[in-house]
Each structure stands twice: as C-alpha cells, then as structure tokens.
Amino acid sequence: MDFSIHAEDGRARTGKMSLLNGTVTTPVFMPVGTLGSVKSLTPHDLEALDAEIILGNTYHLFLRPGMEVIDLAGGLHKFISWKKPILTDSGGFQVFSLAKLVKLTDAGVIFQSHIDGKKFQLTPELAVDIQERFGSDIHMVLDECTGYPVTHAVAAKSMRLSMTWAARCRRAKKNPSLQQFGIVQGGMFEDLRRESIGALTDIGFDGYAIGGLSVGEPKEDMLAMIDVCTEKLPAKKPRYLMGVGTPLDIIEGVNLGLDMFDCVMPTRNARNGALFTSTGKINIKNALHQRDFTPLDASCLCYTCQNYSKAYLRHLYIAKELTYYRLLTIHNLAFYLNFMREIRAAISEKTFGSLLMKSRELWG
C-alpha cells in the first residue's frame, strides 16, 4: 500500500492512502453502507458530501443478493454505482452477532443465516475470495470478536484462533491491487493485544485494524487498549479502529495515532432524531423546535442546513415522512466528515491540542 504521512502534531497525524479506486486522506471517517447502501442516501449524496471511502459488509452481501448477482454486475463498485474506494469487513462479527446458530471450528465457522435459516460455512479462504470478487479496495481478515467481559483464558483462545485465521487469509490473497488489513484482538488484556500485534506484524499486512472494542467496556479501558495498540503497531502503516464511535471517541483515537474510523452512529442517530451540531447534540423530537425556523447548525453548509429549518425537520419526523431520513442523514454525515476535515487542518496547523480540549468540553 502507498501510505504517506504528511503532518504530525504529537501522535496525531495526517496522511494519504492510494488505493485502486482513488486516494483517501486521513484521518478519515467511513460512512457505513452495510447492504451496499448508506441508508436513505444515494452515491450522488455521498459524492456531494465529499465522502472518499465507504464501508460494506461481507456477511450481508454474501447472503443477499449473493455472489452470483454481484459477479454478474461486474463487482461491488459497479453493482452499487460507487466509483471511489470501498472497505469491506470479513463478516465475522455479524456471524457471531446475527446468525441463529454458530459452530466454531479450527477450519472456520458454520452458521445459520438470520434471513432464511440456511446453513453456511465461512472459512478464512472464503472470506478472502468473496472480498476479492467484490473488488474491495481494502478487505479485512476473518476474525472472532469476544464480548465484554471475558476471562483472560477465553480472550487468549479467541485471539490465537483469529491469528491462525489471519495467516490463512494472507496466504489466500491473490489480487495484488487490493489491500488486506489484519485485525488486532485480545479483549481488555494488554499482554494479549501485544501478542496479537506480534503475530500480525510477523505475517505482514497492508494495514492494521483494532477490533473487539466498543463492546460494552468502560471508555477508559477502550482508550487504554487503543494506546497499547498504536504504540506497538507499525508507524508507516494505516491504523483503523473498527466500529467506533462518537465525535469524542474519534478525536481521542486520532490523539493516540489512529487514521481510520467507521460507525453507524451518525446514520442510525439521524433516523432516531439525534443530530450532531457544532454546539452539541440536538433531539429534533423536542417540542421546543416546533416553532424554531433556524437551521440545525448555522455553521453547517450541508444541503439540509442551507434549505430547511428545525421546525420543518421536526414536522417531517413527527409525521413519519420518509424525506426526513435522507435530510437528517445528510446532515449527520456532513457533521462527521466536516469534523474530520477540521481535525486534519488542526494537525497540519499544529493546533490539534486546542481542538482536542474544545471537543472534550463539548462532547465529554
């Protein structure tokens, strides 16, 4: 992978990743398009927001519409009409969180589809094959994610199985134009996280992700594990924190040296009436917005804030008009993507510490 670091302020850093379908500036937030669609938005909406990369889900797309359809379409990019980079996860987390029956073996995992009950076996080799057939610019190795809390013994067994699968994923990789990331596991145990990093770096990947966080642990434990991982992970490779999180989580992660983030929070919260703004969080359901004809965020240049008032958006939400989902999702993603631009600018200008303190006061 061509990954270059452009500026640093403490451990926070900006950079660029050159991928098969485009260049991505870091730190970056990746909107989540689980089923090949960021809920309620079109690729045109995402391009207008200047999203550089989106995330898709191997488990969901493998089950529906299935590989035959995506193959006939010419790959995932053509199927969903998205020309920029795509990262896909391996599907392992969804197997354990969504499947009706799961049987774990050294070979892989046998699971029963949450859609129709059919049984499938997902192996490391199949996870790689699916993602290469998708044409994913970045694809993730198959791993097992433990919950919280777990014992050291359970976390160790799970992590070592994931490392065995990671080595098999690396051997199965065929397309040199696509990038593959390893995933650090080990629960909330520093020794296991270090062991996992040692195993992954010995194998050698194009980038490294930190998995198994934001699973119910206290924030201080999450940050401690991020700190352990970023101190040990290769400095010249991109570092990706999977499935996290709030604006404060993200800037704290950047402060510890992370480069990539994804989370359903901005899109899911938008659908539930919770909106992020430069002055804090707004619940559009509140009656105080009924006659408020100001925009959600006076400093936001997104389509929603430039054209609609809180009163109108509240009306759409209360009336359950479908337009609401698109307009508020546009705003929340605009907030997240603008926040990442603000973070990158602060790192370049050596004012990141000030932005971090401001964010802690606003979101802490």
In the three-class reduction of DSSP (H, G, I as helix; E, B as strand; rest coil), residue 255 is classed as helix
Residues known to be catalytic: 89, 262
What are all long-range contacts of 270-278, with beta carbons under 8 Å and residues at least 24 apart?
Answer: 270/325, 270/328, 270/329, 270/331, 270/332, 270/333, 271/39, 271/40, 271/325, 271/328, 271/329, 273/317, 273/328, 275/328, 275/331, 275/332, 275/335, 276/247, 276/332, 276/335, 276/336, 277/335, 278/335
> Distance between CA atoms of 31 and 52, rounded to whole angstroms?
9
What token pair was written down for 276?
């992020």
Block residue for tokens 């990671």: 166
CB 120 within 8 A of CB 110: yes
Distance spanning both ends of the chain, measured CA to CA: 36
Buried b (16+ CB within 10 A) or exposed e, 186-218: bbbbeebbbbbbebbbebebbbbbbbbbbbebe
> Distance between CA atoms of 336 and 332, rounded to whole angstroms?
6
What token pair was written down for 323?
């337009």
Residue 307: CB atoms within 10 Å:
10
Omega within 30 of 0 (cis) for the link into 245: yes
> Distance between CA atoms of 361 and 248, rounded to whole angstroms?
10
> Distance between CA atoms of 305 and 314, rounded to whole angstroms?
13
